Amino acid sequence: MTPPKSVLFVCMGNICRSPTLEALARAEFARSGLAIEVASAGTHDYHVGQGADPRSVAAAAAHGYSLAAHRARQLETTDFGRFDVILAMDAANLRAIGRVRPQRARADIALFPAWAGIDADEVPDPYYGEADGFERVIELARLGIAAVGRRFGGGGRSGPRGA
């Protein structure tokens, strides 16, 4: 299989799940030798220009990933021509992506867990929960990105600490 050249991760506000996936994928794809451009966006404009949620920043940092430079942005119609694959974190955001998708969009659109081939229906939104929700995002991101790395010929190792 040929890996995509670019992947966009999408959640609702682009401050929790999608920036975490972006940071983790960027590091792990590079580590496994996959030249895949990654970015993230939100379906809503709630947090445009803001940094990642401090709880996401802390969870990512605890696993060796940095969200320090992240600034939230909203999904744009130009993203459908820029990215090969646009991955939603849950069904609600998948529907929202579908509503703004141009008719002649080239990007494939899917749910991240299904595309990555992991056993989860979605990457649950941790925003209104406790720290364990942010850890769950990291866990699903690591499983999914490692599976993608293996599928496209990368090493499949996930985590700066070798975990």
Per-residue pLDDT reduced to its tens digit, 35-76? 999 999 999 999 999 999 999 999 999 999 999 999 999 999
Residue 18: both structure tokens together? 């999608």
pLDDT at 155 over 70: no
Q: Quickly state the pLDDT bin for 160 (edges 50, 70, 90).
A: very low
Record the pTM.
0.93
**Domain spans of the chain?**
6-151
pLDDT at 156 over 50: no
Residue 38 φ then ψ, to 5°: -130, 150
* Domain boundaries 6-151, corresponding CATH code: 3.40.50.2300
Q: Quickly state the pLDDT bin for 163 (edges 50, 70, 90).
A: very low
pLDDT at residue 162 in the model: 37
Per-residue pLDDT reduced to its tens digit, 79-134? 999 999 999 999 999 999 999 999 989 899 999 999 999 999 999 999 999 999 99
Does residue 86 sit in helix, strand or coil?
Answer: strand
User: Which residue's structure tokens are 């659109």?
Assistant: 109
Residues with active-site annotation: 11, 17, 125
Cα–Cα dist 2/100, whole Å: 27
pLDDT at 27 over 70: yes
How many Cα neighbours within 13 Å face the side chain of 17? 28
